[in-house]
Structure 1
Amino acid sequence: MALELDLWWLLLFPAFFALGWLAARVDMRSVLKQAKEVPAGFFRGLDALVEEDSGAAVKALAEVARQQPAVQELPLTLGKLYRKRGENDRAIRLHQRMLESTDLPSEQRDAVRFELAQDFRKAGLVDRAEEILLKLLSGNMGRSARRQLLDIYQQDRDWEKAIATAKELRSDAHSYQHEVAQYHCELAQGELYKSNYPEARRHVTEALAANRKCVRASLILGDIEFAEGRLEEAIAAWQGIEKQNFEYLSMAAERLFDAYEKLGKPSEGIALLRGYQKTFPQLELTDLLYQKVATYEGEARALEAAREAVHARPSLNGVYRLIESQMDGLTPEGRADAEVIRTLVSKHAQRLTVHRCKCCNFRSRAFFWHCPACGEWESFTPNRSEIH
């Protein structure tokens, strides 16, 4: 019996191998057949995309789209290429033709409408883009549509709508609390300009409720308190930035000194600035401290403060102040030489000293709460750095 079973196994093994070989041949033939059915223009377009030649890619894929009208994904890709190349009119016409087609499956219509909304937005027709996106909110493209709407509301500075949309976008992956706090700060700043202090205070409270570490909210709160004459409360609000993010103390420094000065306590203000500079040498305080010390304690003490700052954190602006503070003690010839050096240092400081976005490394001489390059909030370095 055992012998018969072994013989059967010996007969079955070749059959198994033959079936495996046959299956592999069938699969390979199927793959080769499918590959031959793909138009050559598709591969030319793919190769052009790899080579970053969008013009050749558009031409090749447009040819394939004409040959294969039943493939709906290809016109979508082609429309994106048109939009990327700035050919917004062609992208709009393409997507509109797709929507007019009776062959377009209903489940793909929202995807085409979403692309059309992006076409309109890129072409500057924001109202038409918003109109389409609002109609997509209840469908399968709802989340993507809300993200686009949030960008539009930020661009249009419609902060109330931005707040409402960000709250609808909240998820475990992204709470949008950071952004909501900034939108409330924008509203608070606007009300502060109009001297509407109660409404400005309300938005600051909302900002801190959304993000208790929002430095900008503390800066505005201090401004409100200062404007209403509550100087001690203003000082407390600005000093609270040390616990939120000490790097932004440089933006509150002059405000703090002005409050102490108004209280008749300039020496306490100078002492606070000196303390910040020693504790946080990376803060950009050299110019401010030099000016205030020179005014209240004399040039000699100001020179000492400038020297300490430059030794703790060498910078072009610090060197400029150091040269300036010692010019009076030089001979006429030495003063002329120092003036040349000071002018050269000043020019280089203006050219090389910039604020930088920590997310995308965008550089600017002006400070922004909202990076104009990547759109991130509160990502700019408050203290300028020198380009190397």
Structure 2
Amino acid sequence: MDLDLWWLLLFPAFFGLGWFAARVDMRAVLKQAMAVPSGFFKGLDALVDDKTDVAAGALAEVARQHPDALELQLTLGKLYRKRGENDRAIRLHHTMLDSTELAAESRDSVRFELAQDFRKAGLIDRAEETLVKLVDGNMSLAARKELLDIYQQDRDWQKAIELARGLASDSHSFLHEVAQFYCELAQAELFRSNYAAAREFVKAAFNANRKCVRASLIAGDIAFAEGDSEAAIAAWQAIEKQGYEYLSMAGERLFDAYEKLGRPLDGIALLRGYLKTFPQLELTDLLYQKVATYEGEEKALEAVREAVHGRPSLAGVYRLIEAQMDELSPDKRMDAELARTVVMKNAARLTMHRCKCCNFRSRAFFWHCPVCGEWESLTPNRSEIH
């Protein structure tokens, strides 16, 4: 009975202590909230409304009142940079670095922001110089990634390769990017007709990524330039296993190689087979032209009709109309010409390459997306954008 009585007395005591602790916590929270300057909330409200000029002014005033608020100062610098006020961002970060009160562990964060200011302002050399000093500090990973972006922007592929290999980890090997960097070097040597050097860079690209489609394209280009059409065909046909959607980029190359060997009909048969197996490939126009040249207009019309019925597209319909123009009477030809013109305009406007990472759209194909910076992310076959 004594034990039960003690338990009954303890329950109200625990309840009272909990109520008292909650009151203390709420008072502390309210006190902290009242201590936050009103300009801070004004700045946040302006940011929500996308009024960056008002937000910058309000946060700048708060930052002057609280010069020791590191996160606030860094946020203000980012806001200046976003608004294109790079000179203000640079001055702000220089002022922070000149302060003797800035903690040593925070200096690298400020220097990293300063490097981004320099880069945004077009002062790439100063940005690189600042980032190089951070590669061994507590901002090492971020600095290395920023440097990698700079080296790609400057097309300094050797430095990019070295840095990317140093960034490799279990989560991201960077071998995909390294292969592309070697392909850039190979492409440059190919343009100079330095085939031996180009071949070595292609080999290095394959060592980094055996499925590198671009390396196969360049390997075939090297062999074809040296007069070895058989080797070129073998290199380009390897793309079917690496990434069949890129066969549309190798289609004309393959036909040219077969034509050079005196076997154009084999080239046409290969294009027919690809288009039948992979109807999404942009090979209809090429197939029509080659069949018309070697087998006649009637066979070409059959080929394009089969391709368009297999996978309807504006570009295919345009070619289908054009293939039948000569068979129409003058009146019907005028109607067909009008339809062909409308289809052509819409095909040019609506068919685009699309980045699978950021959805960037372009009429031109890029190996390196100019928006998100991903490699081999643009679709090699244009799609109709709705």
Report the TM range for the smaller structure's normalisation.
over 0.9
The partner residue of 1:254 within 240, 248, 252 is 252
What is the CA–CA distance in structure 2 between the aligned matches of 1:209 and 1:265, rounded to whole Å?
Answer: 33
- After superposition, the Cα gap between the structure-2 partners of 1:336 and 1:10, relative to the gap in structure 1 and judged at 3 Å, is closer
Tell me the residue number matched to 1:166: 164
Cα offset, 1:112, TM superposition: 0.4
Q: Which digits, 9 at most, give the CA deviation of each residue in 1:104-129, with x for residues without a partner?
A: 11111110000000000000000000
The partner residue of 1:77 within 75, 78, 87 is 75
Q: Which digits, 9 at most, give the CA deviation of each residue in 1:174-199, with x for residues without a partner?
A: 11111111100000000000011111
What is the CA–CA distance in structure 1 between the aligned matches of 2:368 and 2:194, rounded to whole Å?
Answer: 24
Three-state SS of the structure 1 residue aligned to 2:324 is helix
Counterpart of 1:354, as a letter, is M
Cα offset, 1:329, TM superposition: 1.5
Tell me the residue number matched to 1:331: 329
Tell me the residue number matched to 1:352: 350
Q: Which digits, 9 at most, give the CA deviation of each residue in 1:149-197, with x for residues without a partner?
A: 0000111111111111111111111111111111000000000000111
What is the CA–CA distance in structure 2 between the aligned matches of 1:331 and 1:14, rounded to whole Å?
Answer: 101
Counterpart of 2:42, as a letter, is R
Tell me the residue number matched to 2:33: 35
CA RMSD of aligned residues (A): 1.2
Three-state SS of the structure 2 residue aligned to 1:321 is helix
What is the CA–CA distance in structure 1 between the aligned matches of 2:333 and 2:17, rounded to whole Å?
Answer: 97
- Normalised to the residue count of structure 2, the TM-score between the two structures is 0.97
Tell me the residue number matched to 1:382: 380
Counterpart of 1:299, as a letter, is E
Tell me the residue number matched to 2:44: 46
Tell me the residue number matched to 1:236: 234
Tell me the residue number matched to 2:301: 303
What is the CA–CA distance in structure 2 between the aligned matches of 1:336 and 1:195, rounded to whole Å?
Answer: 49
Counterpart of 1:212, as a letter, is R
Cα offset, 1:36, TM superposition: 1.5
Three-state SS of the structure 2 residue aligned to 1:359 is coil
Mapping of residues 1-388 of structure 1, within 5 Å:
3-388=1-386
Residue ranges of structure 2 left out of the alignment (5+ in a row):
none
Q: Which digits, 9 at most, give the CA deviation of each residue in 1:11-52, with x for residues without a partner?
A: 333222222222222222122112221112112222222333
What is the CA–CA distance in structure 1 between the aligned matches of 2:97 and 2:228, rounded to whole Å?
Answer: 61
What is the CA–CA distance in structure 2 between the aligned matches of 1:64 and 1:51, rounded to whole Å?
Answer: 19
Three-state SS of the structure 1 residue aligned to 2:352 is strand
Cα offset, 1:342, TM superposition: 1.8
Q: Which digits, 9 at most, give the CA deviation of each residue in 1:55-79, with x for residues without a partner?
A: 2221111111111122222111100
Cα offset, 1:314, TM superposition: 1.0
Three-state SS of the structure 2 residue aligned to 1:137 is coil
Once structures 1 and 2 are overlaid, which stretch shifts more, 210-219 or 64-73? 64-73
Counterpart of 1:191, as a letter, is E
Q: Which digits, 9 at most, give the CA deviation of each residue in 1:328-372, with x for residues without a partner?
A: 122222222222222222222212211111111111111111111
What is the CA–CA distance in structure 1 between the aligned matches of 2:16 and 2:319, rounded to whole Å?
Answer: 88
Once structures 1 and 2 are overlaid, which stretch shifts more, 68-77 or 172-181? 68-77
What is the CA–CA distance in structure 1 between the aligned matches of 2:5 and 2:285, rounded to whole Å?
Answer: 97
Counterpart of 2:351, as a letter, is T
What is the CA–CA distance in structure 1 between the aligned matches of 2:349 and 2:2, rounded to whole Å?
Answer: 93
Counterpart of 1:50, as a letter, is V
Residue ranges of structure 1 left out of the alignment (5+ in a row):
none
Counterpart of 2:190, as a letter, is L
Once structures 1 and 2 are overlaid, which stretch shifts more, 378-387 or 241-250? 378-387
- Normalised to the residue count of structure 1, the TM-score between the two structures is 0.97
Cα offset, 1:224, TM superposition: 0.6
What is the CA–CA distance in structure 1 between the aligned matches of 2:118 and 2:357, rounded to whole Å?
Answer: 28
Q: Which digits, 9 at most, give the CA deviation of each residue in 1:90-114, with x for residues without a partner?
A: 0000000001111111111110000
What is the CA–CA distance in structure 2 between the aligned matches of 1:288 and 1:147, rounded to whole Å?
Answer: 42
Counterpart of 1:252, as a letter, is A
Three-state SS of the structure 2 residue aligned to 1:205 is helix
What is the CA–CA distance in structure 2 between the aligned matches of 1:7 and 1:387, rounded to whole Å?
Answer: 78
Three-state SS of the structure 2 residue aligned to 1:376 is coil
What is the CA–CA distance in structure 2 between the aligned matches of 1:16 and 1:328, rounded to whole Å?
Answer: 97
Once structures 1 and 2 are overlaid, which stretch shifts more, 312-321 or 184-193? 312-321
Identical counterparts, % of pairs: 75
Moved over 4 A (4+): none
Counterpart of 2:43, as a letter, is G
Counterpart of 1:26, as a letter, is V
Matched pairs, number: 386
What is the CA–CA distance in structure 2 between the aligned matches of 1:247 and 1:355, rounded to whole Å?
Answer: 12
What is the CA–CA distance in structure 2 between the aligned matches of 1:338 and 1:11, rounded to whole Å?
Answer: 97
